[in-house]
Structures are given as structure tokens and as C-alpha cells.
Chain A
Amino acid sequence: MTRARAILPVPAVVVAMVVLAAAIEPALAQAGPFGVGAPEVGGGSHGGIFGWIAAQQSGFYKAMTGGLRAMRADPHAGWWLIAVAFAYGVFHAAGPGHGKAVITSYVLANNQTWKRGVFLSFVSALFQGAVAIVFVGVAITVFRLTSLQMTDATMVLERTSAMAILALGLWLGWTKIVAPMVVAYRGARAAPAVAREEDVIDCAIGSPQRTPIAAALCACGQSHGPDPSTLEGTFDLRRAFSAIVAVGVRPCTGALIVLVFAFAQGLVWAGMAAVTAMAIGTGLTVAALATIAVTARGFALRIAGEEGPWPLRILRTAEIGGALMVLSMGILLTGAAFTGGGGAG
């Protein structure tokens, strides 16, 4: 009951954002070089292994469209299609427009366990796949949209996604950075600025007689108990849902092209299976990345030991770093979505 009530405002916020994204007419927006099927906007690449990833993506993308082509003559090509679609998803998650950065940063910012990171990764990827399937299905069968109209609609979703990530970043920035600073500042005026072990314990056990320092520690939103290895953030379903929606609401261009291609050939189920396999592959990569981030944090905590200021510093830095990352992604993507520039294409 509480959960249902907690989630209810999210659709309302999403609808408001879609309306806003549609209402703002960006002067310089580009819908890609042919006006249909826009390149995804995203951060810049930094070479090295990513060139290899790009080459794999390219190969599997060709194999995927080739698989659909082969199915016209040979229905048994379906398994091949699903296999290459999965492989494409694994590599495509490293490309722009996918939520790996947002999900990983979100997991760090909220001090989540790897299990929750894996859960968020798969749910956001499957949500994105489902959005693509519903989007193309409704666009073609109900509204009979042209590719031009579909591209316009995609741009609206892209802007919605960018603004939602920005909102999530602002919210994380507020709760993880600004609010704790305000509390710490107030606390520092009233008491010595050094946290004693009792403060940490007071906070962890929820003692009613907290010192201002203990209150400041508690203000990070976590229970920083004396044993950092057992620490984890609370799992707020509404917050997690907003991260999933922010990441998944913009369907990727590759999925749209493959689906429309499948529809055009009467291979609707094959297209849906391919996009689902793609989403599972994407989820796998994002889950692996989130796990790496969480493991690195755990490793740092283990080196730091249980005593002294370091465990807390590490957790706070991971939180602040994660919050800043989501915020900067939000700013970058929103800027790119509304001006049409800055995309890695």
C-alpha cells in the first residue's frame, strides 16, 4: 500500500516531462543526417578498448539485420538472429544513449549492494526494450506513423530521458551533497567538528540523544554503523523506479530500425524476440559494470579497515562522486538533446 502510493507520483512526473519536452521547440535540434533515425547523444569516447567494442557492435548490428533478412527464406534462422541480437546488446551497452553511466553512478550514490545494482541494470534494460516494442507497435499499427513522425516522437522521448536524468542528478546532488553540508555546518557551529565513535554508533543504533555530529553523519541518509562491510543504503523503490524510467524511456535507434524492418517483413515476433535478446545482453553488460563499481568500493573499504575516518570517507566520496556523475550526465545529455550538438553519434 505504502509502496503503491510511493510510486504513484512518478507517472505524473514523467507525463509532465514528456509534455514539457514536446512543448520546447529546440532551434538547432538535429534529427540525424537523413532526418529520420537520429544518432544517440552521449558522452565522448576515450579510445583504447572502445574502438574494439565499436567494431564488434558494427559487426553484430550487420549480422542482426542479416538475420532478419535470412528469416524471410528460412524460419530456422531465428535462433541465429536471437544469438546475434544478444551479442549486439552486450556490446551496444557500451555505446552512447545507454544507461550504464547513470545506473552505475546511481548505485554508488545510493550506496547500493551489487544485487540491487544487477537488478536495476536488468530492469532498466528490459524496460528500454519494452518501450521500443510498444513504441513501434503502437506507432505502426494504431497511429500508422511515418518514420518522420516516429523520429519526432523519439526526440521527445530523448529529451524526456535527458531531463529525467538531470532531475535525478539534481535530487541526488541535493540529498547527498548539499543537505549533509548544511547539517554538518549547523552541527559544527554547535559542537567540536570531530566525529567520535559514539557519534557513529549513536546514529547507527538510532539513539534518540544524538549529538549534532551524529545527526550530521545520519544525514547522509544511511546508517553508518561501526562495521562498514555490513553497510548498505536503503532501497527506495520510487527513487529506483525514477532511475529506471530516466534511463529506459528513450528507445535506441538500432532497436527501432530492427523492429520496423521486422514489421515491414511480417516478422513481428522475430523482431520482438531480437529486441528482447538485445535488452538482456545490454542488461548483462550494465550489471557487470555496476558490479565492478560496487566491488571496487568494497575493496577500498576492506583496505581501509574498520577503524578511523576512512570507511566513512570512502562511502561519502563514492556517494558524492556518483551524485556528481549523474548530475553531469544530466547536464550533458539535456544540453545535447536540446541543441542537437555534442553527441558521439
Chain B
Amino acid sequence: MTSSLFRRFGFAGALLAGLSVAGPAAAHPHVYVDVRTEVVFDAEGRISALRHVWRFDDAFSAFASQGLDTNGDGILSIEELQPLAKVNVDSLKDYDYFTTLRAGGKRTGFRIPTEYWLQSNDGYLTLFYTLTLMQPVKPDKDGVTIEVYDPGYFVDYSFVEKDPVAMKGAPATCTMTVKPKGAPDEATAAILGQIPASERNLPPSLRAVTAQLANTIVVKCP
């Protein structure tokens, strides 16, 4: 009886070991992006667009710009980089530009960008592009919350240290708070690894976790 139990135990143990070894996989960033963002207001004091300036790390920049110096002068011009900029912006659509904008809990989408370009400086590529809101949003006293991050953690977004966010054309009453991302602790990183890169509609419990990765801007106009 006992030996039979033992056998079952050993049997289950062997299976479990095999399965646990074969199972999991965790993600980690391959792209590091320094973020600057301009919040653009229209004449009626509503937020109408976001202008992103994203600088990629040098390794990814080298990879992405490989073979694009088409005239071979050793300089990557804006024209030479334009096909890459187009692919960047086209591909980002599937990831909602890693940008969310919420007012009173309601999310506003973005139009497909028409204004975008890449610049190369000292081996670093910087992507400039404008996200126009589907509907301009007027911030009230509770504010508009803008977040920039990749919940799938393939891209590691960080606000630049100096003046990461600027407001353009904002009414005088408007104020903004900028909160850079926190470093994810181990438990957070574990959960992040489970989220597919394309998943954007996270349940509230997961949002609380991924929010630690978010670079957040809150604009209030009381």
C-alpha cells in the first residue's frame, strides 16, 4: 500500500518536474526609449494632440538604421530614415502607440499619425510624431491622465530627467503633474511577463500592477 503510494508520488513528481521545466517564459526589454512629450491645446482650451519625441537606445538605433544610409555618405538623413519612420508609426498602431489618454475614466483614441520623422544624432535615433485625439478633451478639475508605457515590457519607456513634458497653448489655469515610472519590483516583472505585447485592455487588478511602469502626466484645468 505504502509502496504503491510512493510510486504514484514519484510518478506525479517526475511528470511535474518535466512540465515545470518545459513551461514558463518571461519577457524583458530589448528596446529602451527616452520620452519627451508635448501636450498641445486648441483655441478652446482643449487637449487636441500629443507630440512625442522618443529617443531609442544606441543598440536598437544601430539595428533599426542598418542599411538605411542609401547614398553611403555616412550620414543618416531624415529622407533616408523616412521609410523606417513610416514602418515605426504603422506598427505602433497595433500597440495603440503605447499611449493612453483618459478623462473621467473614459479613454480617447488617436487618429493615424500623418506627421512623423526620424532623426539620427551620435548613433541615437529619435522618433518625432504627432498623435491627434479623435475628440479634443477639455480637462476639468479631476484632470486628464496620459500614460506612456509598454505593459508587455518589450519596450522600456522612461521620461527624460529634464523637462520631460511641456504644455503648449494651455489656458493659464491649467497645471500638470509628471510622475516618471517606478522600477518594477520582481513580483511586478513576473506578472508583466505574462501579458502579451498586443494586449491593451487589461483588467483593473493588472492595471494596478502595470501602472508602476507607466510614465504618467496629469493635466488639470480647474
Contact = CB atoms under 8 A, between A and B. Distances in A.
Interface of B is mostly: helix
Contacts of B22: 100-101, 104-105, 289, 293, 325, 329
B5 to A, nearest CB: 10
Given A57-B26, A61-B29, A95-B26, A36 B63 contact: yes
Interface stretch (B37-45, B81-89, B100-108, B168-176): B81-89
Contacts of B65: 147
Interface stretch (A15-23, A180-188, A206-214, A337-345): A337-345
A321 B62 CA distance: 43
A48 B10 contact: no
A314 B14 CA distance: 8
A45 B11 CA distance: 25
A297 interface: yes
**Counting chain B CB atoms within 10 Å of each CB, which of A57, A58, A145, A344 scores highest?**
A344
A37 B88 CA distance: 11
A260 interface: yes
Contact of A95 (B28, B32, B66): B28
Interface residues of A, number: 85
A225 B36 CA distance: 69
B91 A30 contact: yes
A44 B189 contact: no
A100 B10 CA distance: 23
B196 A343 contact: yes
Contacts of B25: 42-45, 50, 94-98, 344
Contacts of A304: 7, 10-11
Interface centre among B18, B26, B28, B32 (most CB of A within 10 A): B26
Given A44-B25, A303-B10, A146 B67 contact: yes
A34 B88 contact: yes
A155 to B, nearest CB: 13
B140 interface: no
A149 to B, nearest CB: 7
B147 interface: no
Contacts of A50: 24-26, 190, 193
Interface residue tally on B, bucketed by range = 35 or more
A330 to B, nearest CB: 13
B197 interface: yes
A3 interface: no
Interface in B140-175: 150, 152-156
Contact of A292 (B21, B64, B194): B21
Contacts of B19: 321, 325
Contact of A33 (B13, B59, B94, B196): B94
A54 interface: yes
From B13, B21, B83, B94, residue with most partner A Cβ within 10 Å: B21
Contact of A313 (B11, B63, B154, B155): B11
Contacts of A47: 187, 190-191, 193-194
A342 B30 CA distance: 18
Contacts of A265: 62
Interface in B110-162: 123, 150, 152-156
Interface in A281-311: 289-290, 292-293, 296-297, 299-305, 310
Given A96-B25, A345-B153, A45 B18 contact: no
B26 A33 contact: no
B155 A33 contact: yes
B186 to A, nearest CB: 4
Interface string B53-69: 00001111011111110
22 contacts: A30-B91, A31-B91, A34-B91, A39-B30, A45-B24, A47-B191, A50-B190, A52-B190, A54-B192, A57-B28, A94-B25, A95-B25, A95-B26, A101-B22, A104-B22, A145-B67, A150-B66, A261-B59, A261-B62, A265-B62, A293-B17, A344-B152
Given A148-B84, A318-B18, 17 more contacts: A33-B155, A35-B91, A39-B27, A45-B194, A46-B194, A54-B27, A65-B59, A95-B25, A140-B66, A257-B30, A290-B21, A296-B17, A301-B10, A305-B7, A313-B11, A325-B18, A343-B196
> Ordered nearest first, which 3 A-B pairs have the shortest CB separation?
A51-B190, A345-B197, A35-B87
